[in-house]
Amino acid sequence: MKYDIIIVGAGVVGTSIAYSLIPYNVSVLLLDKNNDVAMGATRANSAIIHAGYDPKPGTLMAKLNVEGNRLCEDLCRNLSVPFRRCGSLVLAFSDAEKALLHELLDRGIRNGVPDIRILDQEELHRIEPGVSEEAVAALYAPSAGIVNPWELCLAQAEVFVREGGDILLNAEVSAIRENDGSQVSGRYMIETARGAFEADNVILACGIQADTVHGLIAGPDFEIVPTRGEYFLLDKSEGTRVDHVVFQCPSEKGKGVLVAPTVHGNLICGPTSEVLKDDIEDTATTASKLSEIKVKAARSVTDISWRDNVRNFSGIRANSTADDFIIREIPGKKGIFEAAGIKSPGLASSPAIGPFMIGLLREKGISLPKKEGPYDMTRKKIHFRDMTNEERAELVKKDPAYGRIVCRCEGVTEGEIRDALLSPIPPLSLDAVKRRAGTGMGRCQGGFCGPRIVEMLLSERSDASPLSILQDGKGSTLFVPRDAEGFPSPEGKNAPLKEVES
Ligand SMILES: Cc1cc2nc3c(=O)[nH]c(=O)nc-3n(C[C@H](O)[C@H](O)[C@H](O)COP(=O)(O)OP(=O)(O)OC[C@H]3O[C@@H](n4cnc5c(N)ncnc54)[C@H](O)[C@@H]3O)c2cc1C
């Protein structure tokens, strides 16, 4: 099969590019090695739409961060993705840190961050009573926001597919070959775990694998330094501790940690920073790093109730040996583009990365004719718990499935889960339903609703065996068959259901 453009990597960057290509009359395939979109850094980060005072002025990162922040609110509104412009504070605890705030302020002004200013102690505690009495000043950036990162990624991918784009999951790219003129009609042949595809143009957006995938077609000229960050996610009872994203000043002791509300109403604290040497996809959490978060976070917000923790998780940053985002056509490789080293603020920048890539494709002479027929860049999604009682009553009258709560912690209805199962990229695991419908995110972490959702997954996929249902990624099987004596038999993990029953 031949495409005009193949995008490798379905994180928030790859999907922003796919979404930005919707208005053009080109055939596009989006590939990912995992069994869902948003399975890399996009699903495990701080979820902050940074204001843009941190990147060095004049860098691509500074430009795309401020532009991405500006675009994010409208984008989220159009895609029914939760977003809140809550503002951020960088706290100073000493005169030396106050001086640092002025440096950040200066950078923010040069980067074009709107309304950024320094607050004195009194104003700081007035607008954010949750922070420690010891904080003496803060840098206030009202344009900073919080978002649901995996839903932003998913929404862009869903609209891309609904508008005619192709997606292939579980399709790890293992080779990219230049056409030698004999076998294929596209400029490149992409080999994946699910077959080979031709394309005239290829866009690589591979997160922590960006250097490896770059190496499939070109010599090395940067390296990814995978850097893990661990987190606490606290219950909604802690969700109102602070109303802003609260950062600490970077110091010789490190970058500090943030304490922030989430769009779901929880409190997030973290991340740590640890370079991974062996397994670069190791998203474990560790007792030592979690203790570090508790100590550091308590400096900003003194009375966090850690016993109300609902989950710990970690994500891996695609830090790189370059000190800016690398977004370019690979030198000497006509038609191969990459977005590499997309570390933080990659999420905040992502709404601007797609349009920036379109500009780059045009600049390099790639033909992007406008679609002649109509297309729709919006997505409507029901978030039952965010509706008023009147809206809920109206909805339940039309469709009683929205009147049956399945996930009691988060108030997610059977209708919303059914919508997720029928969505343009159907979920293949329990966590994929969670990412689409918001189930299993509360105190019980899916303990109560999990079995009901498995039933619904099975009734939607009538050919599937319960043994094929996954918790999340490849190999995370939920059920194992029993042997003749009734003991779990892992060898039979993939056996079809009738064999299990016999
Ligand atoms: C701990 C942490 C905190 C962060 N906090 C913030 C924040 O608050 N604000 C912010 O703006 N940014 C933040 N970031 C950065 C942000 O999360 C990333 O910049 C962004 O998610 C990068 O998106 P991506 O699409 O480039 O990468 P990813 O989401 O990692 O996606 C890359 C995709 O490529 C796929 N892939 C890789 N190799 C192959 C292959 N060979 N074949 C097929 N597919 C392949 C992977 O499966 C993956 O899905 C944070 C990151 C981390 C880890």
Span 169-196, pLDDT tens digits: 999 999 999 987 665 578 999 999 999 9
Q: List CB contacts of 56: < 8 A, sequence separation 6 or more.
A: 62, 107, 323, 324
**For residues 146 and 243, what is the distance between their CA atoms, to the nearest angstrom?**
11
pLDDT in tens, 123-146: 999 999 999 999 999 999 999 999
Contact predicate 107/141, CB 8 Å: no
Ligand 1 pocket test: pick from 314, 317, 319, 324 the residue with the most ligand atoms within 8 Å of its Cβ: 317
H helix runs in 21-111, sequence order: 60-79, 95-111
- pLDDT given for residue 183 in this prediction: 57
| Band of residue 198 on the pLDDT scale cut at 50, 70, 90 | very high
Q: Left, alpha or beta for 220 (phi > 0: left; psi -120 to 50: alpha)? A: beta
- pLDDT given for residue 180 in this prediction: 76
- Decide if pLDDT at 502 tops 50: no
- Decide if pLDDT at 343 tops 50: yes
For residues 467-487, average pLDDT: 84
CB of 272 within 6 A of ligand 1: the answer is: no
CB of 446 within 6 A of ligand 1: the answer is: no
CB of 213 within 6 A of ligand 1: the answer is: yes
| Helix axes 149-162 and 60-79, enclosed angle (nearest 10) | 70
pLDDT in tens, 215-229: 999 999 999 999 999
- Decide if pLDDT at 499 tops 60: no
Average pLDDT in the chain: 94
- pLDDT given for residue 79 in this prediction: 98
Ligand 1 pocket test: pick from 20, 206, 283, 293 the residue with the most ligand atoms within 8 Å of its Cβ: 206
- pLDDT given for residue 449 in this prediction: 92
| Helix axes 149-162 and 346-363, enclosed angle (nearest 10) | 30
For residues 334-354, average pLDDT: 98
CB of 343 within 6 A of ligand 1: the answer is: yes
For ligand 1, the distance from its centroid to the CA atom of residue 57, given in whole angstroms, is 23
- Decide if pLDDT at 204 tops 60: yes
For residues 20-48, average pLDDT: 98
| Helix axes 60-79 and 95-111, enclosed angle (nearest 10) | 70
Residue closest by Cα to atom 9 of ligand 1:
48
Residue closest by Cα to atom 13 of ligand 1:
344
- Decide if pLDDT at 497 tops 70: no
CB of 16 within 6 A of ligand 1: the answer is: no
- Decide if pLDDT at 492 tops 90: no
For ligand 1, the distance from its centroid to the CA atom of residue 40, given in whole angstroms, is 5
For ligand 1, the distance from its centroid to the CA atom of residue 248, given in whole angstroms, is 24
Which numbered atom of ligand 1 lies nearest the CA of 229?
A: 1
CB of 10 within 6 A of ligand 1: the answer is: yes
Strand 224-234, strand 83-84: pairing: unpaired
For ligand 1, the distance from its centroid to the CA atom of residue 415, given in whole angstroms, is 30
Ligand 1 pocket test: pick from 15, 45, 84 the residue with the most ligand atoms within 8 Å of its Cβ: 45
CB of 48 within 6 A of ligand 1: the answer is: yes
If you search the block for the tokens 């440096």, which residue do you land on?
A: 103
% of the chain surpassing 70 pLDDT: 96
If you search the block for the tokens 């689409």, which residue do you land on?
A: 436
Which numbered atom of ligand 1 lies nearest the CA of 349?
A: 11
Encoding tokens for residue 313?
A: 């998780």
For residues 288-300, average pLDDT: 97
**For residues 428 and 426, what is the distance between their CA atoms, to the nearest angstrom?**
6
- Where do the domains of the chain lie, and which CATH numbers do they carry? 1-82+147-223+321-381 (3.50.50.60), 88-142+226-317 (3.30.9.10), 384-501 (no CATH)
Contact predicate 64/111, CB 8 Å: no
- Decide if pLDDT at 493 tops 60: no
| Band of residue 474 on the pLDDT scale cut at 50, 70, 90 | confident
For ligand 1, the distance from its centroid to the CA atom of residue 172, given in whole angstroms, is 16
- pLDDT given for residue 252 in this prediction: 67
- Decide if pLDDT at 496 tops 60: no
For residues 337-364, average pLDDT: 98
The verdict on whether 50 is a catalytic residue reads: yes
Which numbered atom of ligand 1 lies nearest the CA of 40?
A: 30
CB of 467 within 6 A of ligand 1: the answer is: no
pLDDT in tens, 386-438: 999 999 999 999 999 999 999 999 999 999 999 999 999 999 899 999 999 99
For residues 483-495, average pLDDT: 65
Could you tell me the pTM of the whole model? 0.95
If you search the block for the tokens 């109303």, which residue do you land on?
A: 243
| Band of residue 82 on the pLDDT scale cut at 50, 70, 90 | very high
CB of 351 within 6 A of ligand 1: the answer is: no
CB of 316 within 6 A of ligand 1: the answer is: yes
For ligand 1, the distance from its centroid to the CA atom of residue 347, given in whole angstroms, is 8
- pLDDT given for residue 420 in this prediction: 96
Q: Write the DSSP string, 308-359.
A: GEEEEEEEEEEEESSSS-EEEEPTT-TTEEEEE---TTHHHHHHHHHHHHHH
- Decide if pLDDT at 500 tops 60: no
Ligand 1 pocket test: pick from 209, 231, 244, 474 the residue with the most ligand atoms within 8 Å of its Cβ: 209
- Decide if pLDDT at 254 tops 70: no
- pLDDT given for residue 255 in this prediction: 75
CB of 205 within 6 A of ligand 1: the answer is: yes
Helices H / strands E in the chain, number of each: 13, 22
